[in-house]
Amino acid sequence: MPIGIHDLSFATGHYVLEHAELARAYGVDIDKFHLGIGQEAMSVLAADEDIVTMAAAAAQPIVDRHGTGDIRTVLLATETAVDQAKSAGVYVHSLLGLPAATRVVELKQACYGATAALQFAAALVAREPSQRVLVIATDVARYDLESPGESTQGAAAVAMLVAADPAILRVESPSGLFTADIMDFWRPNYRSTALVDGRTSITAYLQAVEGAWKDYGEQGGRAIDEFSAFCYHQPFTKMAHKAHRHLAEFASLADTPNELHTAVLPTTLYNRVIGNSYTASLYLGLAALLDHRTDLDGRPLAMFSYGSGSVAEFFGATVVPGHREHLRTAGNRSAVNRRTPIDFAGYRALHEQTLPTDGRDHELPVEGSGPFRLLGLSGHKRIYQARAHRS
């Protein structure tokens, strides 16, 4: 019985900061960003947006299309959680009006968490094929101002409905797995911004590519030349190209440099203008690939998921014939194109904004344009609401 992604939708922040604006502010050549890391712009959240509002906005179109009756589980993956105890998915469950008879869990392992959620969801559906699982990856990549990671920032949420006989993508077995205890990227509880050792992180990523691919082969996976395209986690889009060249050499794939570039390029088109979205990044890449290539019916794709620290997984998936009828290409492009440009001063002010911690009532300004907003805080509780008119 095939199991996989039956529907897929994403949302991002209200604002967009062009890297040209960042380059002007810091007095650097724009090629440092456009060519050096492969980034053109980054999504920036409005004051009344967070991972919950993005997650609900990403999932709302799925609920509108399929209803709530068969959704028995919500698995939300994030590394920018809003609470140390309560799952952000519980807020989403309420905003979407999902049934009380639902399990809701939050998963964390850096940028890998959404792939864990996808695999756990597939196992739940295999046990009970009549149920569907809502998987949501939602994150805000945030680094210190003027740090090397600042230009890779971004924000997005991807929602996936996992079901039997999926309409878009069949997830295959086996998976290749890899874990190593490496401090390449981390965010202690007392920090609002992440710490990263850039050189170590790139080395750890490539080590994980090798390890996961090696295990995939040992588990009886496909030969590398069977895949029609390759999706990689993208902390910045140039990393996907670097990873693919590394895998090609390690696995003795005889493609030309142009073929290696073409196999990855379509997966980078959304991430290039949204920025890093941690758990959502790989699945934004998948959405971009499906939206921009029309020749994938029945073809196998390679998926590589990496989360710093580090955990990685390599698995295959087959595109379902007729999948294009179920894509949300127009909506996806609209989510990118309707963002409001922000200047460097406005971005910097939002970056430095912090929520009060005194437990008193605080109402946030009405700023974003998404269907849900963070209204404010009261008694250390976050209060969310649906907007009167959803955009």
For 90-114, what is the mean pLDDT?
Answer: 98
Q: H/E element holding 89?
A: helix 88-96
Say how many CA atoms lie within 13 Å of 282 toward its Cβ: 29
Q: Is 309 left (phi over 0), alpha (psi -120 to 50) or beta?
A: left
Q: What is the pLDDT of residue 270?
A: 98
Q: What would the pLDDT profile of 125-173 be if each residue is shown by its tens digit? A: 999 999 999 999 999 999 999 999 999 999 999 999 999 999 999 999 9
Q: What is the pLDDT of residue 389?
A: 52
Residue 328: pLDDT band (50, 70, 90) is very high
Of the residues 233, 241, 244, 323, only one is catalytic, namely 233
**Rounded Cα–Cα distance for residues 302 and 222 (Å):** 9
21: three-class secondary structure by DSSP: helix
Of the residues 111, 241, 244, 313, only one is catalytic, namely 111
**Rounded Cα–Cα distance for residues 314 and 297 (Å):** 21
pLDDT at 260 over 60: yes
359: three-class secondary structure by DSSP: coil
The reply to whether 172 belongs to the active site is no
The reply to whether 231 belongs to the active site is no
Q: What would the pLDDT profile of 10-27 be if each residue is shown by its tens digit? A: 999 999 999 999 999 999
Q: What would the pLDDT profile of 26-79 be if each residue is shown by its tens digit? A: 999 999 999 999 999 999 999 999 999 999 999 999 999 999 999 999 999 999
Contacts 24+ apart (CB under 8 A), 216-220: 216/174, 216/175, 216/176, 216/314, 216/315, 217/176, 218/176, 219/174, 219/175, 219/176, 220/174
**Are 150 and 179 a contacting pair, CB within 8 Å?**
no
Burial zone of 16 (CB within 10 Å; 0-12 exposed, 13-18 middle, 19+ buried) = buried
Domains contained in the chain, CATH given? 3-169+327-386 (3.40.47.10), 170-322 (3.40.47.10)
**Are 6 and 121 a contacting pair, CB within 8 Å?**
no
Q: Does 174 sit behind a cis peptide bond, omega within 30 degrees of 0 on the bond before it?
A: yes
**Are 315 and 303 a contacting pair, CB within 8 Å?**
yes
pLDDT at 363 over 60: yes
**Rounded Cα–Cα distance for residues 55 and 236 (Å):** 22
Q: What would the pLDDT profile of 175-227 be if each residue is shown by its tens digit? A: 999 999 999 999 999 999 999 998 999 999 999 999 999 999 999 999 999 99
pLDDT at 371 over 80: yes
The reply to whether 233 belongs to the active site is yes
**Rounded Cα–Cα distance for residues 240 and 286 (Å):** 12
Of the residues 79, 106, 172, 313, only one is catalytic, namely 79
Q: What is the pLDDT of residue 240?
A: 98
Determine what percent of the chain is predicted with pLDDT higher than 90: 97
Residue 390: pLDDT band (50, 70, 90) is very low
**Are 99 and 68 a contacting pair, CB within 8 Å?**
yes
Residue 391: pLDDT band (50, 70, 90) is very low
* Residues counted in the chain: 391
